Each structure stands twice: as structure tokens, then as C-alpha cells.
């Protein structure tokens, strides 16, 4: 799959908009088959993008999640909660086809810089 025409994140201070993350591993492949493993990988990818923007998971205020299969929701939610720990951003979750045929989950996020960072 060719790299899509997008930025991994864009800033509209104090907000950071993070493009949807798929469960690609370090080699650019989707190697995890299950929803739990894919969810953990997506969160790892999200953390990597946050770090490149100088942010952390705690800075995320909203996520939007797309699941390929509605029946994956309970296991997804459990894995998502474990991966995020005490971080509880607002979230919307929808069921939809995803562009990559092996992807079961995609997550985009909105994060915010603290006022101290921007002043």
C-alpha cells in the first residue's frame, strides 16, 4: 500500500489533530490478526506521533475509533482501556469498512497543549 497523501499531525494551537492510525508494525505491515493486538499496536503508533509533536498520551482530549466489526467492540474496549491506563479522553466509536483489508481498527485523536506550553 502506497503512503497516503496526509500529515501524521497538524497543529492549530493549542490543538493537535492526529491522523487516523492503523495497526502497522515497525516494518510497515499489519502482522497482528486479533482486535486486541491491533488495538495495542494502534495505541503504540498514536504514542509515537504524539511524541513527534512533543506531547504525551495524557494530552489527548478526544479520539474517534473505527472498528471493522461491531462484535469486536467489547474486546476492543478492554484492550483500549488497558493501553490507555488512567487516560480517559472523550471518544466516539463507529463501525465502518477500513481502507486496509487486514485492519480491524483505526484511531484518530485530538490533543491539546497546555497554556503554559504556548505562552
Q: What are phi and psi of 80, to 5 degrees?
A: -60, -45
Sequential DSSP letters for 43-76: HHHHHHHHHHTT--GGGEEEEEEEES-GGGHHHH
pTM of the predicted model as reported, rounded to 2 decimal places: 0.92
40 and 34 Cβ atoms separated by less than 8 Å: no
Q: Which domains does the chain have, with CATH numbers?
A: 10-118 (3.30.1330.40)
- Using DSSP, state whether 117 is helix, strand or coil: helix
Tens of pLDDT along the chain (119 residues)? 566 788 899 999 899 999 999 999 999 999 889 999 999 999 999 999 999 999 999 999 999 999 999 999 999 999 999 999 999 999 999 999 999 999 999 999 999 998 556 54
Amino acid at each position: 500500500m502506497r503512503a497516503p497523501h496526509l500529515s501524521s499531525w497538524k497543529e492549530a494551537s493549542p490543538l493537535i489533530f492526529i491522523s487516523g492510525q492503523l495497526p502497522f508494525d515497525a516494518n510497515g505491515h499489519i502482522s497482528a490478526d486479533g482486535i486486541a493486538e491491533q488495538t495495542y499496536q494502534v495505541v503504540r503508533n498514536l504514542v509515537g506521533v504524539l511524541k513527534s509533536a512533543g506531547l504525551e498520551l495524557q494530552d489527548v482530549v478526544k479520539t474517534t475509533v473505527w472498528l471493522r466489526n461491531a462484535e469486536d467492540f467489547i474486546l476492543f474496549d478492554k484492550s483500549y482501556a488497558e493501553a490507555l491506563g488512567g487516560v480517559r479522553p472523550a471518544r466516539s466509536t463507529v463501525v465502518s469498512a477500513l481502507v486496509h483489508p487486514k485492519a480491524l481498527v483505526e484511531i484518530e485523536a485530538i490533543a491539546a497543549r497546555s497554556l503554559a506550553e504556548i505562552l
